[in-house]
Amino acid sequence: MKILIADFSNWLTWFDLGMALLVFSLFLIIIYRIAKRKIFLLPFAVNIAAILVSYALRGYTIITLSLVIIFLLFSVIFIFVNIATLRPFINNLFTFKKPKLPISHHYDSNQVLNSIVDTVAYLSKTKTGAIIAIERKSNLGEFIKNGTPMNAPVSSELLMTIFYPGTRLHDGAVVIRENMIIAASVYFPPTTKPLSGKYGSRHRAALGVSEVSDAVVIIVSEETGRISFAYNGELEPVFIDQFKQLLIHYMEIAQEEKE
């Protein structure tokens, strides 16, 4: 049953279609910038085209309204799948905080962050277990005592070498302070929280140190290659294509708390 027939002799109809096309185009641009994958655009683009064609040929009908509902369902699914990436945008939208200082105030972001990202991507791909703890306000000196001092600049090559299964330093955590790897083979006390069977000793150790400090801790599972963050007593899994953005997000939170 038709509710309203599109009248193309009326300029308002063209204005309506033009505004809809503009809004949908902006929506697709936002989706691409968040997901960084063109494949995510396909279902949205097809659905949007179907909505516009249905409206242009038949006006507002049950078919058009059904397509709008499908579009909304696609949007909800996209949000749930990409919640880790969207969280920084949501937090900034609903909180009123003073402007963030750049991470380079404490870190050389281009060097340290990229080295960590490259390392984690490699370790995840090769299913090499690892814990990387980035020290913030809380000094991790009491834990570092049981590790091996390094005091070496952060680099992906050194991190990959440390976590290589054949080295004596691989079975423990690396601690990063500012631009330096200050210790390796560091052991953290595990959390006492009950965790599901998919989490191993590395996750328990990372969660344990995050409960007693403000460190940003990265875990790579040896069994699955899964990447997770431990921060403020919480674990959060993340895909590698979202890893850098979420790492920056956690570093910004830690920096604000440090100040």
Residue range 158-216, pLDDT digits in tens: 999 999 988 888 889 999 998 899 999 999 989 888 877 678 889 999 999 999 998 99
Which neighbouring-strand residues pair with 236? 229
Which strands, in side-by-side order, build the sheet including 180-186? 148-153, 180-186, 173-177, 130-134, 216-220, 227-231, 234-238
Please report whether residue 133 resides in a domain. yes
134 and 234 belong to one structural domain? yes
Q: Say if residue 111 is in the same domain as residue 230.
A: yes
**Could you read off the pLDDT of 219-238 as tens digits, one per residue?**
999 989 999 999 988 889 99
Task: Decide if pLDDT at 78 tops 60.
Answer: yes
Q: What is the rounded CA–CA span in Å between residue 132 and residue 155?
A: 13
* Nearest of 160, 176, 161 to residue 217 by alpha carbon: 176
pLDDT band at 101 (very low <50, low <70, confident <90, very high): very low
Same domain, 207 and 168: yes
pLDDT of 252 above 70:
yes
The residues that bridge with 219 in the sheet, in sequence order, are 131, 228
Domains identified in the chain, total number: 2
Which one-letter DSSP state was computed for residue 101? P
CA 123, 126, 127, 132: dihedral to nearest 10 degrees?
Answer: -10
Residues 35 and 154 in one domain: no
**Whole-number pLDDT of residue 182:** 94
Directed axis angle between helix 156-163 and helix 114-126, to 10°?
Answer: 30
Pairing of strands 173-177, 130-134: parallel
96 within domain boundaries: no
* Cα–Cα–Cα angle for 192, 193, 194, rounded to 5 degrees: 115
Residue range 106-125, pLDDT digits in tens: 445 678 889 999 999 999 99
How are beta strands 180-186 and 148-153 bridged, if at all? antiparallel
53 lies in a domain? yes
Domain membership of residue 125 as a residue range: 103-258
What pLDDT does residue 154 have? 93
How far is Cα of residue 186 from the mean position of the Cα atoms in its chain? 26
Burial 116-151 (b: 16+ CB within 10 A, else e): bbbbbbbbbeeebbbbbbbbbeeebeebbeebeebe
